[in-house]
Structure formats: C-alpha cells, structure tokens
Chains A and B, each alone.
Chain A
C-alpha cells in the first residue's frame, strides 16, 4: 500500500474516509478495555497519518512502539526511529513541512532534550501532534507519574490539551489533528495525559469501527507555502546569523510571535465544538468549594466531590480540557459561585495554580489554594484533598 492507493473515498489502507464530526459524534461505537498507549494506537489508526518518528527508549510508554506496528500493518505511511529526542522532533518538523500529517510521542526529560524544536514547530506553523505522556523531570531520574514538563511547554506557541482518561485521549487525538490543521490555526498540538495513570492503566473505552478514518491532511490549505531556504522561517532555520540582521525588522519578529499566539486563540471555536467545551463541570453548580484541575487530578477531585457530598458539603469540579488556549472566559463563568478554589496538581511547582491565579486576578474574590500538590510519583489520595478543603472551610476547627 502506498499513497498512490488513496482515492477520494478511501485512504491507502482501504479505510473509508469520513468527517471528523462523523468519527467523533455519529459513528456507532463499541466498548473495549484498553490502556492509554493502546488507545493511542487505535486513534492514530483512524487518522490517516502520513508519518511518525520515534525514539523509544526504556522506560517508555508503548505508544511509539504501537504506532510502529501500525506502520507494519499498513495504516501509517512512514515510520522511522530518530537518533535521540532532539533528532526526532527535528525530523517530525521535516515531515510536516513536506506536507505530511505527522505524530510522535514523548515524555519527561526527553521533552526537554527536544525543547528547542517546539517553538520552532509553532513558528513554522506545522500542525504536528505530540502526544505527551507526562512523567516528570528531576535528578535522580523519575519514571513516575508527575507532570512537571508541562510547565516548560506552556510558552512554546503550541496548543496544549489535557486528557483525563483513556476515552478523552482517544477523542482528543482525533480532534487534535482536525483543529491543528484548520488554516487559521495551523500550529502544533500537544495532547497531554498523565503517564502511567493513563498510559499504562486499562479502562473501558468506546471506539468507532476501525474501517473508517479521517480525511487526509490537505497541505495546500496551509497558511504558508512550502518553506524554502530563502524565505523566513526557512531562511533562519538554515542560517541563524541573519536573524538579528537587517533582513527583516524587529517588528516582523514581534508580529510573528503574536501571530503564533493569535493562531492558538483562533482554535477556541473549533476546540469548543470538537471537545464539547474547553472545560467540563460536574458537581453542584452553585457550590462555594470549587476544584479546578486537569488530567488525573480532576479525576481525584471528582472522588473528593463525592466524599464531600456525603459530608453535606457542596462542591464542584471544573476540569480544564485546554491549557493553551487557556479557557479564561469559561473558568471565570464556572467559578462565579466559588468562595474557595482548590487546584490539586501532580507536580511540585503548581503550574496550573499559577495559570488559574493569573487568569482570575482582579476578577474573582475567591481564595485560590494551590493544594494539595504531590510530586515525584506520589499518588493523590482523596483524603489529602478532603483534608485541604476541611482545613480551609473550617478555619477555626481545622480538618
């Protein structure tokens, strides 16, 4: 099978081409029991992916390996291994610049090794998808669940979506390609899950049949023509010395950076549609105790919500599905009843707490509490969340 086997109705592997709406919302689904890595394979299988590059080192999630199997099975057009994470992310850029729908995965320190590439990706407006199975950064090396690396990704100009579970991961991967490839968006998408909690844990997931797949990527709708070595940004990838010369003005660099961020903002209406909202709320809508979280932390917050209900305390969980673009309007609306906002996180720096605090500054009178915060692979027991809530709402009595 090759790209020459593609028709208007079927892709090269014989899957019927369907719209994103059909694939996400209309196609009949059946129940399966899968890990995050396995469901990544299932999502990629239905996305008419042209290319994937990987650097599968131990300990890794199985996702990159499983995408390799898809190549062997004829579903992914091209698959090869990079020399290291920097190489992988550079090669991914090359594939995307050549007009290929491209995906890769990474996590932890590998993300940082490849770091220079991420703002290059967004600056070159390539709609690559990076599936980030977060597992923290520190020495001694951790291979445990922790999402510290996300804080490094926040200002790269990439979209960042955060899936709570295996089902959301499947759906986000499909929606991610679609939104990233919109001509007025056309920036990379980083789809994050908490490693181990999601990548290695088997859960129920509803999947459409695997004989249908997304329409192929159309590079002729890209906001840039194919990049050559004389035209920015290609010129500067080739020849960094001219970046500060008089070839282009400082205003161009400023405008370019703003344009990348504008592109991320332009994804908002599309993300609202395909993700069914940038945030998801559950619990008592008028509660004074509100949890704002993403990923596995939102799952734990929902557990806390159930326990607090038993204690007669109303609470609400606001799960953020997108971090870039940050859902400012939705967060403000969802927290308008809040007296206390708790931001539980699986990292030591509290990057989401900072985001929430900054977003609500001057707009909300709620007390924002960046707790509980665990790191290094610790779990977040519901009791820890309850303890924080009771400490704050019963200031005199304590937990």
Chain B
C-alpha cells in the first residue's frame, strides 16, 4: 500500500492494513520501505523538483505556534519553498469550511482532495499539521488523487504519506534544505 496514485473505488484500506507502520526513530518511510533519513530527503527533494505544481501545506503548528522553534521553522519553510520551486497553500485550521472551501487559498483536512484537484498538485509536503488531522487528510489524498504526499513530522511520522520523515525539528529542516539545494543542482533546475 502507500503506493502513488488514486485507489478509485476501493479507496481504503489504509497503509496499516498492509502492515505499514510509522518508521522507527532515526529512519524514514519511503513508499513501503524503511530507509535512512538522507535517502528519503533526497527522494523527496527530487520528487518536489520534478513534479507539476509542487506545493507545501504548512499547518497551525508552524503558522501560529508561539515559540522560537516555530519561528525558526516558519522561516525555514519559506526558504524550503524557494529552493524547491514550490507554492505554499496553508492549512489555517481544521474547521470544516461552509459553504465551501476556496481551494486556491487554503487546504482543509476534511476535504483536502478539493485543493489538490483544483490546483492540479502532483507533489506536496504536509508540515506543522497536528498528526491526527494530517493522517485524516493523507488517507483521503492518497485514496482520491495521484498527488505524491510527504509528511514532515516533528513527532512519529505518517505511514499514509508516500514519504515520511519523523522527528523533524528546525535543524533537520535546515539539513533538508541543503540536500535539496544539492539535488536541485544535480537536476539542473
């Protein structure tokens, strides 16, 4: 499971149904494989740099959190978007939007597929989204779109993303940016 692409009329089961769990500490999950963090970072950078409309979805933990770490992360995420040539569409909060979401300006965990469909997003990084809402959104996105999803998580990671890197704090994001710069140069982007 956790392969790229829509599951159409059998959108579930989810990744754990096939035995995929969050990666152990110090490791990352790339599709169905547990790999070294740097291997995952390189692949994430490559996918983001070579996919149409690559987008970063920053969540409340980096948008509003009142801590120095959140400030550092927010600054780094902005830099990350520039290095990856990626757009940013925020997940402002988790409230369902009525009467409907504006998919050009936000993504929402209750119907994340609408934003991805509308903007034809083929690769996306979820970062700063609380784990439960990230997981709810990632399951829907994987089931209903062909977007390559990446979970960059400060805690344990997200097995329903195509790539997940866990325990990502500001120093790890800085390392990812450096790796992304190298990959960008290799790709001539």
| Among A252, A262, A266, residue most surrounded by chain B Cβ atoms (within 10 Å) | A262
Closest chain B residue to A182, Cβ basis: B156
Judge whether A248 is part of the interface by a CB distance below 8 angstroms.
yes
Residues from chain B with Cβ under 8 Å of A224 in the complex: 130, 132-133
Judge whether B51 is part of the interface by a CB distance below 8 angstroms.
no
Point out residues on B near A: beta carbons under 8 Å: 11-16, 21-22, 24, 60, 93-96, 98-99, 109-111, 113, 130-133, 135-137, 139-140, 143-144, 155-157, 159-160
CB distance B60 to A247 under 8 Å?
no
A311 CA to B96 CA in the complex, in Å?
A: 66
Residues from chain B with Cβ under 8 Å of A186 in the complex: 131-132
A261 CA to B139 CA in the complex, in Å?
A: 13
Residues from chain B with Cβ under 8 Å of A21 in the complex: none
| Among A182, A261, A266, residue most surrounded by chain B Cβ atoms (within 10 Å) | A266
Interface segment, one of A95-103, A127-135, A225-233, A381-389: A225-233
Residues from chain B with Cβ under 8 Å of A168 in the complex: none
CB distance A256 to B136 under 8 Å?
yes
- With A262-B159, A266-B21 known as contacts, the answer to whether A248 contacts B110 (CB < 8 A) is yes
In whole Å, how far is A274's beta carbon from the nearest beta carbon of chain B? 15
CB distance A262 to B131 under 8 Å?
no
CB distance B95 to A265 under 8 Å?
no
CB distance B136 to A255 under 8 Å?
yes
Tell me which residues from 211 to 268 in chain A have a Cβ below 8 Å from any Cβ of chain B.
221-225, 230-232, 235, 246-249, 251-252, 254-256, 258-259, 261-262, 265-266, 268
In whole Å, how far is A188's beta carbon from the nearest beta carbon of chain B? 14
Q: How large is the interface on A (under 10, 10 to 19, 20 to 34, 35 or more residues)?
A: 20 to 34
Judge whether A184 is part of the interface by a CB distance below 8 angstroms.
yes
CB distance B143 to A251 under 8 Å?
yes
Judge whether A269 is part of the interface by a CB distance below 8 angstroms.
yes
Residues from chain A with Cβ under 8 Å of B135 in the complex: 223, 255, 259, 262
CB distance A223 to B130 under 8 Å?
yes
- The 9 tightest CB contacts between A and B, nearest first, are A223-B131, A184-B156, A223-B132, A248-B110, A265-B16, A247-B96, A255-B139, A262-B16, A183-B155
Residues from chain B with Cβ under 8 Å of A268 in the complex: 21
CB distance B98 to A262 under 8 Å?
no
A125 CA to B130 CA in the complex, in Å?
A: 12
A259 CA to B14 CA in the complex, in Å?
A: 8
Given A223-B133, A231-B94, A252-B140, 17 extra CB contacts under 8 A: A183-B155, A186-B132, A221-B155, A225-B60, A232-B96, A235-B96, A248-B110, A248-B111, A251-B140, A252-B110, A252-B111, A255-B12, A259-B14, A262-B159, A262-B160, A265-B16, A268-B21
